[in-house]
């Protein structure tokens, strides 16, 4: 037994539960909101090309990718910070602004990394219950902000429940919170959003100097295994985020894969349309069975199963489908392969 003291804040952290992984038996993995598609055409070749230089460190700040992202969003490179997945970028964002005796406010249930990343900073977590129909209650979120709050996390679409934050409610929220409070808009699933009233994160950046937008290549772009995400914001915030970023954390392979993927917007749009069509198929199938779902705006649906969540996930597993139960709350099911989706719908039909 080691006698090395561990920081109490670290000893108290909840554990991140990854989505279940397939075993030897054929299973469909609808448990981690991944893309069912392989990387976009040409991306594997870009990865292979950059693998030749594996004996070399990558560019420390992934400059080529930073330039490409800035160009894509019509921003300056000084407004872009990259990292090994948006979860790492969020850790850096929080490290830059929050510490002991500070507070971080976020909706709950939402992305399960929020309490962990908040805990690591030593700040106190302030979870704010969701409102009706799995929607983030932005009024309650603004009311939870006090003088000690350093950051508010807003997840849109909200993982795991699905609805997107609307532009008008976001603007009212920004007007209600202090202008020196950092607001993080986590848009990991933005490419799948079809709600015409959903907030436009990039547009909001121009209006709000205290806003940081998070994006990822893990979901729509299908690069979850390579780990690339980024933050967009004012140069002073980005400089602080970069200052706490682990050096060389985006590999050259990940950088080149992301640069190449950004160039393939037509193919990306086709794939996103495929996912959205299958999401509608799931939504309509479930509605026909009698389920009442929150509005799914990401690549997943949420079944509000309460205490039946774990048994339902067990029934899906027996049918060869891995889903993500949140015990006593609900079950999140990713929009995956058609066969997996159909098997899931069969199980769901016996549980309404
Ligand atoms: C809301 C949200 N934000 C961020 C992430 C992190 O994604 P990554 O670290 O792969 O970019 C996820 C992953 O599931 C997510 O659901």
CA of 289 to the centre of ligand 1 (A): 30
Range of the structural domain that residue 26 is part of: 8-30+265-349
Nearest to 304 by CA among 314, 294, 319: 294
pTM: predicted TM-score of the whole model, two decimal places: 0.95
326 lies in a domain?
Answer: yes
The two three-digit tokens of residue 193, written as one number: 């959003």
Residue 2 has pLDDT above 90, yes or no: no
**Among 224, 240, 262, where does a domain finish?**
262
Could you report the per-residue pLDDT of 154-211, keeping only the tens digit for each? 999 999 999 999 999 999 999 999 999 999 999 999 999 999 999 999 999 999 999 9
d(CA 68, CA 29): 32
Q: Does the beta carbon of 33 sit less than 6 angstroms from any atom of ligand 1? A: yes
CA of 146 to the centre of ligand 1 (A): 27
Residue 143 has pLDDT above 70, yes or no: yes
Tell me how far CA of residue 214 lies from CA of 39, 178, 187, 232, 276, in angstroms.
Answer: 21, 20, 6, 7, 21
Same domain, 269 and 210: no
- C-alpha torsion angle, residues 301, 306, 308, 309 (rounded to 10): 40
Same domain, 303 and 204: no
Same domain, 242 and 285: no
Could you report the per-residue pLDDT of 72-110, keeping only the tens digit for each? 999 999 999 999 999 999 999 999 999 999 999 999 999
d(CA 230, CA 186): 10
**Among 262, 277, 297, where does a domain finish?**
262
35 lies in a domain?
Answer: no
Same domain, 150 and 196: yes
Report helix, strand or coil for 87.
helix
CA of 270 to the centre of ligand 1 (A): 22
Q: Does the beta carbon of 224 sit less than 6 angstroms from any atom of ligand 1? A: yes
Q: What percent of the chain has pLDDT over 90?
A: 91
Q: What percent of the chain has pLDDT over 70?
A: 99
């Amino acid at each position: 037994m080691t006698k090395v003291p561990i920081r109490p804040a670290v000893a108290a952290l909840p554990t991140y539960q990854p989505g279940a992984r397939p075993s030897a038996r054929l299973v469909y993995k609808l448990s981690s909101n991944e893309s069912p598609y392989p990387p976009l055409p040409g991306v594997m070749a870009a990865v292979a090309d950059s693998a030749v230089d594996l004996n070399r460190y990558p560019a420390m700040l992934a400059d080529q990718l930073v330039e490409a992202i800035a160009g894509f969003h019509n921003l300056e490179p000084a407004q872009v910070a990259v990292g090994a997945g948006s979860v790492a970028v969020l850790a850096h964002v929080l490290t830059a602004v929050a510490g002991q005796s500070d507070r971080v406010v976020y909706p709950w249930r939402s992305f399960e990394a929020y309490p962990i990343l908040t805990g690591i900073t030593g700040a106190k977590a302030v979870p704010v219950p969701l409102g009706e129909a799995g929607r983030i209650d932005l009024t309650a979120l603004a009311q939870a902000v006090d003088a000690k709050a350093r950051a508010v996390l807003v997840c849109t679409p909200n993982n795991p429940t699905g609805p997107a934050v609307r532009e008008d409610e976001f603007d009212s929220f920004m007007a209600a919170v202090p202008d020196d409070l950092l607001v993080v808009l986590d848009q990991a699933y933005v490419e799948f959003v079809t709600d015409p009233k959903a907030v436009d994160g990039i547009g909001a950046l121009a209006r709000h100097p205290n806003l940081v937008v998070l994006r990822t290549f893990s979901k729509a772009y299908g690069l979850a295994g390579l780990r690339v995400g980024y933050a967009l914001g004012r140069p002073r915030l980005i400089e602080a985020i970069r200052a706490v970023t682990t050096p060389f954390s985006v590999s050259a392979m990940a950088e080149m894969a992301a640069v190449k993927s950004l160039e393939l917007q037509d193919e990306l749009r086709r794939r996103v349309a495929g996912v959205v069509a299958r999401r509608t198929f799931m939504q309509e199938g479930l509605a026909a069975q009698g389920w009442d779902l929150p509005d799914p705006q990401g690549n997943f649906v949420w079944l509000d199963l309460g205490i039946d969540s774990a048994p339902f996930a067990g029934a899906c597993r027996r049918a060869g489908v891995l889903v993500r139960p949140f015990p006593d709350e609900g079950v999140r099911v990713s929009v995956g392969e058609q066969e997996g989706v159909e098997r899931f719908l069969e199980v769901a039909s016996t549980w309404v």
